[in-house]
Structure 1
Amino acid sequence: MGETLLHTTLGALRRDQLGMILPHEHVFVDLRTPDQPGYAEADTEAVVALMAPQLEAIKALGVTALVECSTGGVGRRADLDLVVSRAADFPIVVPTGNYREPWIPDWVREASEAELERWMLDELTDGIEGTGVRAAWIKLSAGDDGITPLEARILRAAARAAAATGAIIGSHTIRGRVVLDQLDIIAAEGGDPARFISIHTQAEPDFGLHRAVAARGAFIEYDNIGWVPVADSVDLVERAIAHGLTHQLLLSHDRGWFDPAQPGGGVPKPYDVLSREVLPMLRARGLDEATITRLTHDNPFNAFAR
């Protein structure tokens, strides 16, 4: 076994080179479908001017890396992530994979499972689109009402690529019962449900399903910090800890970002609410530093490193 490393825009980093990691954010994202005019197009200098200060701000708060969650279909631009990362001297963790329908480009729709697996393997091992940035993980999604045949094909290919590399799969999946279906597919392909992140777990109102997903070994992610009252986030974190989910819990904002559909890229939402508000409230309520370190340092590294 080789050394466990987190692959970033600034190279592969060891655990001792990193501290707090934000596991679900966006630097650049385009939520228009890939067939729309101007999709994922932007002036590089404009992206750097808007987003490098956002990274510098959290770097000053002690955050040491950020996970970019924009995947294929929603404007992933590893080249822009790389330029912004270098400008701020701040590591960004980039995925391979593709989003759900209707954000699936024609080439993915027409590709075989074997071709999709090879594409993901290439990006995980050799790098993304000539940038030299190696994908660290696989980002997917599934429909709110259930996984479609096309989404299942992408997931099966992802499960094989993940098993071959040790990379984790993260999926934007709103319903816990659909997450359990995804875990069944991964297991059937010989994958490891413990190498899966249930993204947006907080959107599932049944806390019993949070526990059911975690019982399969997967990470659960509460990533709406800053979108809801701080006390609501703190209450949910405390509930998860009380039910023994500390080692599988990820916390982030799902904020940012440069949006090429908006004039000037829009107005970014800072990535600082966890550091400035949620963690202080958790400390004030008695959460110990070892647990905070586990949630904000160890769990993200354990999830995304391979």
Structure 2
Amino acid sequence: MKQIYTTLGPRRRDELGMILPHEHVFADLRTPDQPGYAEAEIDAVVALMVPQIEAIKRQGITLLVECTTGGVGRRADIDLAVSKAADFPIVVPTGNYREPWIPAWISEASEGDLEQWMVSELTEGIEDTGVLAGWIKLSAGDDGISPLEARILRAAARASVRTNAVIGSHTIRGRIALEQLDILQSEGCSPERFISIHTQEEKDFGLHRVLVDRGAWIEYDHVGRAPDDELVSMVMRAVDAGLGEHLLISHDLGWYDPAQPGGGTPRPYTHLVDSLLPSLKIAGVSEEAIRKLTEANPFEAFAR
């Protein structure tokens, strides 16, 4: 049985409705060697972020995927506290971001050690939280994959093969995402277990097609950060081209930022339901297609 592993335990398809596949509850974009990196009072994060979660619960959102990974401040204990306070499941990743956000211990670890670390977090739990990682989040440099990033990717591929966890990568250029797919496949990992995050940043739509043709998921995750008419055009172009079966949409917003006084001012996760979905309906996108984009697709991408 397919399930998504969350802070509140596994969730089946029939237990879920709309899913936001790319958001942040807590993130620190400073490098891990900076003073105060990823440090915050849990109660302060809960106070700031639970209202953001309550707002999407009222909209009918049933699950949120936390995209903060190692290197940019992942705190599974904080995600768990926010989740419990809001009674709302959150999906937390294992893995690590790109250079220079790679801590020394990961730089020094072997591929085998990195693989086993990811498998352990996916099957036994993250640190002492009891939370099973629900997926693997990585990244690659904008101009190419560094040797260290490739080592992490190969380890992730092997962990995915062992657990069926999906791998999502912050990758700006389509050609680099395709290089990542080559590495994954060389390790026996199926392209269906790869999400090309930030696909909207690749302006060559032909590369969106190639990614989907190879079996990968593509993700337009700038809802609420780009004009709705731009998003409507992008989504309709993808649907009309037959890419809708492999398309994810989200905001990439939030979050409590420990580098800012009081955590800063989070940007809400509400624009998709409040504005974009009505705009898509007006443009002629069917209810069935919208359910596919907001419910079925994200479940299939993250379930294992």
Q: Where does residue 104 of structure 1 map in the other structure?
A: 102
CA RMSD of aligned residues (A): 0.4
Q: Which amino acid aligns with 2:252?
A: D
Matched, 1:144 2:138: no
Q: Which among 105, 111, 114 is matched to residue 113 of structure 1?
A: 111
Match of residue 244 from structure 2: 246
The percent of aligned pairs where both chains have the same amino acid is 68
Task: Give the equivalent residue in structure 2 for 1:60.
Answer: 58
Deviation at 1:126, TM superposition (A): 0.3
Q: Which runs of 4+ in 1 moved over 6 A?
A: none
Counterparts of residues 1-306 of structure 1 (less than 5 Å): 3-306=1-304
1:269 shift after superposition: 0.4
Residue deviations 1:9-55 (CA, integer Å, cap 9, x gap): 01001100000000000000000000000000001111000000000
State the one-letter code of the partner of 2:248: L
| Matching residue's letter, 1:105 | P
Q: Which amino acid aligns with 2:290?
A: I
What secondary structure does 1:67 align onto?
strand
Between the two proteins, the alignment pairs up a number of residues equal to 304
1:198 and 1:292 map into 2 onto residues whose CA distance is 20
What is the alpha-carbon distance in structure 2 between the residues aligned to residue 178 and residue 215 of structure 1? 16
**Alpha-carbon separation, structure 1, partners of 2:232 and 2:85:** 33
TM-score, structure 2 as length reference: 1.00
CA distance in 2, matches of 1:50, 1:16: 30
1:285 Cα offset (Å)? 1.3
1:270 partner letter: P
Match for 1:13: what amino acid? R
Per-residue deviation, residues 257-291 of structure 1 (Å, max 9, x unmatched): 00000000000000011101100001111111111
C-alpha distance in structure 2 between counterparts of 1:291 and 1:237, whole Å: 11
Q: Following TM superposition, by how much is the alpha carbon of 1:100 offset from its aligned partner in structure 2, in angstroms?
A: 0.2
Q: 1:246 is matched by which residue type in structure 2?
A: G
Give the superposition deviation at 1:196. 0.2
